[in-house]
Amino acid sequence: MRDAVGAVQSVLVLGGGSEIAQAIVDRLVGGRCRTVVLGARDITALSPVAARWQAAGATVDSFAFDALDPASHQAAVDAAFDAHGDIDMAIIAFGVLGDQATFDADPVAAADAARANYVGAVSASLAVASRFRTQGHGTLLVLSSVAGVRARADNYVYGSTKAGLDAFAQGLGDALVGTGSRVVVVRPGFVHGRMTEGMQPAPFATTPDKVADAVVAGLAKGREVIWAPAVLAPVFTVMRNLPRGVWRRVSAR
């Protein structure tokens, strides 16, 4: 159960290899979390983190999960809930950034990114939401991105998948009002890590650990949207309202 100060006792991560999600779980395990369930494409790669959380006193379990196979999502999520009892929090963490030039040359690759980031997140979130409704509580943490606030010429495929995901997550959150469950949307900026390796950092670049700190603080405060870092909230309010031509220049790298 979630407690009065926002701590949870169990967490399910879809996209268990995500650096940001792992930094969040580190903090949850440092608090009340004693059950960690990870869904990932490659579960063998998870052994080191699993060992770390087990050493901290948590039970860790993992299962095969592919965002690109929505038909499998409900069964996979059901199995996780059935095996571990109540799941207090689920994190939709999977996502691919891709490369706009590659997408321009390979429309199918672009569609695959959309299928993973948006389509897969829709089916996975709904699978979790149906279990949350049954258990009468739960927090769905959705890793969106500031890239979805306004699409940029140099990554609009990715940006549009996050825009769709973000809108979906907000709608789902509103739909869940009164069910004891809720959706928290996380909008990180540029995060140093695997996904952004070799790229030139954007202003206000941050790290998975800092994003995780912001998430934990936001959860304790009962936030519905968490920007990381927090300054991106006002920054993107301005960005979203810039005239198109100005935005084109500002967002060009």
Partner 1 sequence: MPPTPPEPAAVLARPHTAELTGWGRTAPTASDVRRPTSATELQRALPNGSPRGLLARGLGRGYGDCAQNSGGTVVETTDVDAFTIHDADPASDTVLVTAEAGASIDRLLHALVPQGLFVPVTPGTRYVTVGGAIAADIHGKNHHRKGSWCQHVTSLHLQLADGEVVEIGPDRDPELFWATAGGMGLTGVVLDATFACPRIGSSRLLVDTDRAADLDEVLELMASGDHAYDYSVAWIDLMAGGRATGRSVLTRGRFATAEEAAPAAGPDPYAYSAGVLASAPPFVPDGLLNKLTVRAFNELWFRKAPVRRRDELQTIPTFFHPLDMVGGWNRIYGPQGFLQWQFVIPFGAEATLRRIIEELSASGCTSFLAVLKAFGEADPAPLSFPAPGWTLALDIPAGVRGLGPLLDRLDELVVAEGGRVYLAKDSRVRPELVPQMYPRLDEWRAVRNRVDPQRRIRSDLSRRLGL
Ligand X SMILES: NC(=O)c1ccc[n+]([C@@H]2O[C@H](COP(=O)([O-])OP(=O)(O)OC[C@H]3O[C@@H](n4cnc5c(N)ncnc54)[C@H](OP(=O)(O)O)[C@@H]3O)[C@@H](O)[C@H]2O)c1
- 9 part of the interface to ligand X, by CB under 6 A: no
- Distant-in-sequence, close-in-space partners of 79: CB < 8 Å, separation ≥ 6: 63
Closest to 226 measured CA to CA, from 239, 211, 207, 238: 211
- 222 part of the interface to partner 1, by CB under 8 A: yes
Query: What x-and-dash track marks residues 146-185 binding partner 1 by CB under 8 A?
Result: --------------------------------xxxx----
* Residue 163 CB-half CA count within 13 A: 13
Amino acid identity, position 96: V
| Residue 178: contacted member of ligand X, partner 1, none (CB under 5 to 8 Å, by partner type) | partner 1
List the end-to-end C-alpha distance of the chain, in Å, as a whole number: 45
- 220 part of the interface to partner 1, by CB under 8 A: yes
Q: Which of residues 32-91 bind ligand X (CB under 6 A)?
A: 40-42, 65-68
Q: Give the distance from CA 200 to its chain's centroid.
A: 22
Of 145 and 181, the one with the shorter C-beta distance to ligand X is 145
Beta bridge partners of 39: 14, 63
Beta bridge partners of 35: 10, 59
- 17 part of the interface to ligand X, by CB under 6 A: yes
Q: Which residues bind partner 1 (CB under 8 A)?
A: 1-7, 9, 31-32, 86, 133-137, 178-181, 217, 220-222
Q: Which residues bind ligand X (CB under 6 A)?
A: 15, 17-21, 40-42, 65-68, 93-96, 116, 143, 145, 188, 190-191, 193-196
